[in-house]
């Protein structure tokens, strides 16, 4: 979960709500409670984990996350005893995320369809029917949009690596550099942030594209080796 939080923050969400959407896109269910309490349910788990430092470690409180988003502090660091992440190809992660979101969409759609009968049976008022219907329609729209993006990403991953891909061309051009120049910075770096404590974070251009290219190569290299 810590790795997913850091990965979401590295994408520079505009605000806390955008951060939560990124967590949902990565496969986590998000539960909001009173007083700003936020909990996450990891894929395959049946118990939510609260977003707070006492559970996840220093730097993982909601206020800490908001300060990172605002650029007031660097990304939280993983505890030294954090075990290495399990290796899982992006294609498998996407399949898991799509399956989970499709299941959630089916459930929400079923709830929405039963609302009218609940109103007619007198179990809910007309006002409750309208409010709940609007909320379900919002959730359906958000899930449909997320599924479209995840499906497009899976299709892009499966379609292969074009040698003329902008990200691949840029990284190949500078693969043997010996000196950092202004030209290289402009082409490869989105921005560099310097914090008050002296820490520096670098946001590269094409970060997501390069990750997908590397994973595609890794997946197909592994498949080729196993076939041989």
CA–CA gap between residue 138 and residue 134 (Å, rounded): 6
Q: Which residues pair with 200 in a beta bridge?
A: 194
- Could you give the count of Cα atoms lying within 13 Å of 48 in the half-sphere of its Cβ? 12
| The model's pTM | 0.42
pLDDT in tens, the chain (228 residues): 888 899 899 999 999 999 999 998 888 889 888 888 899 988 767 789 999 988 888 889 899 999 999 999 899 887 666 555 544 456 677 788 888 899 999 999 999 999 999 999 999 999 999 999 999 999 999 999 999 988 887 776 665 544 445 555 666 666 666 777 887 777 777 778 777 777 777 676 766 655 555 555 555 554 444 444
Give residue 227's pLDDT: 44
CA–CA gap between residue 130 and residue 124 (Å, rounded): 10
**Calculated CA dihedral for residues 163, 167, 169, 175, nearest 10 degrees:** -120
Strand, helix or coil for residue 90: helix
Dihedrals phi, psi of 18, to nearest 5 degrees: -65, -35
CA–CA gap between residue 91 and residue 164 (Å, rounded): 22
Give residue 86's pLDDT: 43
Give residue 165's pLDDT: 54
Q: What angle do CA 46, 25, 188 make, to 5 degrees?
A: 135
């Amino acid at each position: 979960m810590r790795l997913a939080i850091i990965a979401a923050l590295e994408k520079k969400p505009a605000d806390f709500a955008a951060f939560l959407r990124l967590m949902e896109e990565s496969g986590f269910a998000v539960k909001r409670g009173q007083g700003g309490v936020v909990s996450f349910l990891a894929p395959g788990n049946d118990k939510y984990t609260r977003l707070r430092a006492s559970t996840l470690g220093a730097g993982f409180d909601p206020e800490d996350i908001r300060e990172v988003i605002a650029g007031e502090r660097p990304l939280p660091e993983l505890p030294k005893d954090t075990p290495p992440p399990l290796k899982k190809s992006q294609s498998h992660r996407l399949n898991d995320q799509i399956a989970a979101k499709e299941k959630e969409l089916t459930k929400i759609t079923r709830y929405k369809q039963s609302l009218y009968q609940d109103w007619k049976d007198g179990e809910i008022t007309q006002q409750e029917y309208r409010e709940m219907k609007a909320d379900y329609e919002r959730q359906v729209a958000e899930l449909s949009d997320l599924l479209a993006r995840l499906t497009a990403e899976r299709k892009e991953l499966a379609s292969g690596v074009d040698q003329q891909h902008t990200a691949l061309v840029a990284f190949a051009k500078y693969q043997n550099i010996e000196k950092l120049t202004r030209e290289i910075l402009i082409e490869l770096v989105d921005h560099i942030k310097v914090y008050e404590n002296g820490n520096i974070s670098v946001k590269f251009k094409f970060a997501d594209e390069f990750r997908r290219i590397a994973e595609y190569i890794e997946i197909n290299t592994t498949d080729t080796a196993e076939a041989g």
